[in-house]
A and B are shown apart, each in its own frame.
Chain A
Amino acid sequence: MTLASLNLQPVLPEIVLAAMACLILLVDPFMPKRGPSVSYALSLLTLVALFVITLLQMDDSVRMSFGGMVVNDPMADVMKLVIYALVAAVLVMSRTYLRQRGIDKGEYYMLGLFGVLGMMITISSNHLLLLYLGLELLSLAMYAMTAFKRDDGRASEAAMKYFVLGALASGILLYGMSLLYGVTGDLTLTAIADSVAGGEDSLALKAAVVLIVVGAVFKMGIAPFHMWLPDVYEGAPTAVTLYLAAAPKIAALALVMRLLVDGMGPLFSDWQPMLIVVAMLSMAIGNVVAIAQTSFKRMLTYSTIGHVGFILLGVLAGTNEGYAAALFYTIAYAVMTIGGFGIILLLARQGFEAESLEDLKGLNDRSPVMAFVFLLLMFSMAGIPFTFGFWAKLAVLQSIVGIGLWWLAIFAVVTAVIGAFYYLRAVKMVYFDQPTDTSPIQADANVRGVLALSGASMLIFGLYPTGLTALTAGAFGL
């Protein structure tokens, strides 16, 4: 294959993004000292451009390119579109927060964009090495962003922990991949699927499945491999936490989908029981441990662990409906999470981090609109009707009851009821308690705007999720 015969069009968004990220890297040092406004503007512009390009390229077919290494299917397109929107929202929200803490530097935006590139490569890869490459690019960007406030001991500790455990997870994943390659002799995921479908069951293959599942759920932050998550999310600057918690979960879902479904689909009966176990653990641990938290940030982190357990339910259903449900849930989760951590940004100000649950007290007296947004977000996370989160839970429950695992559905809803307690407690702080801190809320219009948008989307998708369900169903050819 010569370079001239290569069709670069399928990876146009990735190319544009890489070029723009490098451009920002070059331009930023020459900008006046006032702040990285140019980098910020360019980053947002890039994301908008990517959105348009991906939208134009979208169609219903599965398009392979680069000799089967890159795949562009409806799932990839939908995921990428959502990621652009999420990351743009995160960048818009974090500006003031970063400036107040003296870390509003061009590198933040550059790293953010490289992270997006990593996510996109992960999503579009049909090849073990490419997948690993994308995952590492994303991870490295996230390690650096976590340590962005380099003088802060907590952030540095978080980054160190994240790096070491992330590297361990990558190692496990890579080991699994190498075993898989050893057994099948192939690196392309679709070829591996064909090979394992026909081949016989060997111990090495089983070991490969176990290691890959462990590596993937490690990256996703699923119990019992979740221990790094609370420390990292709590230690990182909140703006970074916002980035870490939202969009990369979509890439993590893609990682699981590509490896387990596309690559090892025929081994469904091997990995499904493992996912059942970790999903149950995740829902139970996430929702129970969250009750004991006094830090709002940690509480949301444990709630994340519970949510990814629910997302796995959709994957382990092993049906297209289930995958669509998992994607739908992930999108709902990401929007809710932006809102949830966004509330911390809303309450924070120069020299003050609003990370404790106590800081939420009396928000209804300080800002009724933001309190209502918060109410919608919390009830959505709890999965109460009239909010986005209800349909997300319904979708995954429907998919697992559909394959006859109704006892798992009962387990899931019981953990959801347990989880409802701490969401209610947070709502109680906002609505029923007197404010301990009566100073006016200083957050800028950007933060308020994105929060209002996420709150509104809870209600809008809570009442009319039809368009989004059609989109996620379409992503899996339904």
Chain B
Amino acid sequence: MLTSWPILSLLVWLPIAAGLAVMLFGERRANSARWFALIVSVAVFVISLGLIVGFNTQTAAMQFVEHVPWIPAFGINYALGIDGISMPLIVLTTFTTILVVVAAWEVIKDKAHQYLAAFLIMEGMMNGTFAAMDAIVFYFFFEGMLIPMFIIIGIWGGPRRVYATIKFFLYTFLGSVFMLVALIYMYFQSGSFAIPVLHDLPLTLTEQILIFLAFLIAFAVKIPMWPVHTWLPDAHVEAPTGGSVILAAIMLKIGGYGFLRFSLPMTPDAAAELDWLMILLSLVAIVYIGFVAMVQSDMKKLVAYSSISHMGFVTLGMFVIFMIVSNPANTSASGVTLALEGAMVQMISHGLISAAMFLSIGVLYDRLHSREISAYGGVVNTMPWFGALVVVFAMANVGLPGTSGFVGEFMVILASFKASFWIALIAALTLIIGAAYTLWMVKRVIFGEVKNEGVKTLDDLNFREAWVLGVLAFLIVLIGVWPNPLVEVMHASIENLAQQALTTKL
């Protein structure tokens, strides 16, 4: 029986234990460290496929549940479980980790064993965050992952890495401590840290608003929302390729996941009360950050800003639901699940697209050691395969139908129409801005005349790189043309969440 195995614990602790083990390999056995890390990450991915196989899409209840008392003196239980919201994110995490390990193969030469160890430990912590069913367990992993990320950016990052990594750490740490206090407060109201119990905890509006704001600081920094996004471009630019990939593909999603798991169901009335604020911030992110992305001269920075803009769709989808139900023109609440599912699909899709974009930039950076757009031009002449793949990723980033980027954004915009024409209009406008900055970058980097000697000597993708980018391109198109399985997995859980979010606690 598959479900009787502690699959989730394996997904959390196997990579962490393996990461500690990899650290012992030492500088001289870097190659064995690479193989070991690859084997572990593939094994973890295979285990996570067990989640898909054993998953029951008919229920919104937690599955693969594990529950053991952890620290009775503090009322903390080691409780894990997944539903349709967390399961795709866990699989995304285990999949992305393989890519990161492979992408680092020849690229990371200095202290490769520590690099791989940090990513494996990250993987375990991220899985733990998504699987946690106890608020403190969630916080434990949520904050614990700052340690490996701090090290990753700080050791293998670019020239301003120290500034970037300390900024990243302090921003996210400051964000999350308020959440900790809020969680402890809720513990004393309910007598438990169990997330399902906190979902049902009745709270007054004032309490809800304060708790909502505490959560907001934590998750808004993580996702990140305007105006607390400023750590992200710095961290992304300075991080090594693998760090950028994990940051964009997974860590940002943890902020979005936090909204779904904590803010919406625990403080629904506060969320309804403050939905204007969230929608406003989302729209600012979508439009303003889109314009900011356009003027970047650094490719990584451009993609970083585009990430923030895309995350704006996620938060828009999550909080527009309150306007949908309050709009008298709507007779049914079908737009609500559409919006939430759109936000979820957008998260998964952005995980794949941003990983692909950063890996592509990494491919160029490994060859010419520059991230400046102006340092390239006419790359397609020397790297035709690479050029083709980048165009696919760029189209996905723009949200072209047939790619995964289209599905999520389209669902969110469609749902926004049910809330207000103007919100939908503004959100839809960003598709044009997104197209502008993405395609303009592609034009300047990939196409045109060969600009300089460096570009002339470029080699096309090697087998390793082609494999990594090819798999990503396949998945992006697959979700783009056939998103149904993904939507089906999350449907029951999203409906349940929508009901929780729209039921008043007062």
Asked if A269 is at the interface of the complex by the 8 Å CB criterion, the answer is no
Nearest CB of B to A70, in Å: 28
**B184 in contact with A409 (CB, 8 Å):** yes
Q: Contacts A379-B147, A428-B166, A470-B73; is A372 near B140 (CB within 8 Å)?
A: no
Known: A470-B72, A473-B73. A384 touches B144 (CB 8 A): yes
Pick the contact of A384 from B70, B146, B188 — CB < 8 Å? B146
B53 within 8 A of A: no
Whether A420 contacts B181 by the Cβ 8 Å rule is: no
Interface residues on A, range: 35 or more
Task: State which residues 353-399 of A face B: CB under 8 Å.
Answer: 364, 368, 372, 375, 379, 384-386, 390-391, 394-395, 397-398
Chain A residues 408-433 with CB under 8 Å of chain B are 409-410, 413-414, 416-417, 420-421, 424-425, 427-428, 431-432
Q: Does B169 contact A (CB under 8 A)?
A: yes
A394 CA to B177 CA, complexed, in Å:
10
Q: How far is the CB of B326 from chain A (nearest CB, A)?
A: 32
A453-471: which have CB < 8 Å to B? 465-466, 469-470
Q: How far is the CA of A384 from the CA of B147 in the complex (A)?
A: 8
CB of A401 closer than 8 Å to a CB of B: yes
B188 touches A401 (CB 8 A): yes
Chain A residue contacts of B150, Cβ below 8 A = 424, 427
In the complex, chain B residues whose CB is within 8 Å of the CB of A472: 73
Q: Closest CB of chain A to B95's CB: distance in Å?
A: 24
A406 in contact with B185 given A386-B140, A394-B74, A425-B166 (CB within 8 Å): yes
The minimal Cβ–Cβ distance linking B161 to chain A, given in whole angstroms, is 7
* CB-defined contacts of B71 to chain A, threshold 8 Å: 391, 465-466, 469
Is B162 engaged at the interface, CB distance under 8 Å to the other chain? yes
B23 adjacent to A372 (CB under 8 Å): yes
B275 at the interface (CB under 8 A from A): no
- Chain B: minimal CB distance from A476 (Å): 11
* B-binding residues in A (CB < 8 A): 324, 364, 368, 372, 375, 379, 384-386, 390-391, 394-395, 397-398, 401-402, 406, 409-410, 413-414, 416-417, 420-421, 424-425, 427-428, 431-432, 465-466, 469-470, 472-473, 478
Contact B188 A385 (CB under 8 A): no
User: What 6 A-B pairs have minimum CB-CB distances, sorted nearest first?
Assistant: A413-B177, A469-B73, A385-B144, A385-B140, A386-B144, A401-B184
A169 CB to nearest chain B CB (Å): 33
Which of chain B's residues has its CB closest to A478's CB?
Answer: B73
14 A-B contacts (beta carbon < 8 Å): A364-B111, A372-B23, A384-B143, A384-B144, A391-B71, A401-B184, A406-B181, A410-B181, A420-B169, A431-B151, A432-B155, A466-B70, A470-B72, A473-B73
Complexed CA–CA distance, A44 and B319 (Å): 64
Which B residue sits closest to A406, measured CB to CB?
Answer: B185
Interface residue ranges of B63-111 to A (CB < 8 Å)? 70-74, 111
Interface centre among B73, B111, B114, B188 (most CB of A within 10 A): B73
The answer on a CB contact under 8 Å between A416 and B74 is no
**Which residues of the partner chain B approach A364 to less than 8 Å between Cβ atoms?**
111
Contact of A398 among B72, B74, B114, B178 (CB under 8 A): B74
A368, A398, A431, A478: residue with the most chain B Cβ atoms closer than 10 Å: A398
Please indicate the chain B residues that have their CB under 8 angstroms from the CB of A428 in the complex: 154, 162, 165-166
Question: Which residues of chain B are within 8 angstroms of A421 by Cβ–Cβ distance?
Answer: 166, 170
**B134-175 interface code vs A (CB 8 A; 1 in, 0 out):** 001001110110110011001100000110011001100110
Among B23, B111, B140: residue with most chain A CB under 10 A? B140
Among B141, B174, B184, B187, residue most surrounded by chain A Cβ atoms (within 10 Å): B184
State the Cβ distance, A403 to closest chain B Cβ, in Å: 9
Given A420-B170, A466-B71, A470-B72, the answer on whether A409 and B140 have CB atoms closer than 8 Å is: no
Nearest A-chain residue to B139, judged by Cβ:
A385
- In whole Å, how far is A57's beta carbon from the nearest beta carbon of chain B? 24
**B166: chain A residues within 8 A (beta carbon):** 421, 424-425, 428
Determine if A431 and B181 form an interchain contact, defined as CB atoms under 8 angstroms apart. Answer: no
- Whether a CB of chain A sits under 8 angstroms from the CB of B180 is yes
For residue A466, which residue of chain B has the nearest CB? B71
Closest A residue by C-beta to B153? A432
**How far does the Cβ of B170 sit from chain A's closest Cβ, in whole Å?**
6
Distance of A425 Cα from B139 Cα, bound (Å) = 24
Which B residues are CB-close (under 8 A) to A409? Answer: 181, 184
B73–A413 touching, CB < 8 Å: no
Q: Are the CB atoms of A417 and B23 closer together than 8 Å?
A: no
Name the B residues within 8 Å of A473 (CB-CB).
73
B140 A417 Cβ-Cβ under 8 A? no
CA distance A406 to B184 in the complex (A): 9
Q: Which of A379, A413, A424 contacts B181 (CB 8 A)?
A: A413
B170, A417: Cβ atoms closer than 8 Å? yes
* Extra pairs beyond A427-B150, A470-B72 (10, CB < 8 Å): A368-B23, A375-B147, A394-B136, A398-B187, A401-B184, A401-B185, A401-B187, A420-B173, A421-B166, A466-B73
| Distance in angstroms between the alpha carbons of A417 and B175 in the assembled complex | 10
Are B136's CB and A416's CB within 8 A? no
Find chain B residues with CB under 8 A from A432 CB: 154-155, 161-162, 165
B188 lies within 8 A of A402 (CB): yes
Q: Which of B111, B147, B174 has the most CB of A within 10 A?
A: B147
- Nearest Cβ in chain B — how far from A331, in angstroms? 14
A472 to B73, CA, bound (A): 9
Chain A residue contacts of B114, Cβ below 8 A: 368
Hey, which chain B residues are within 8 Å of A394, CB to CB? 74, 136, 180, 184
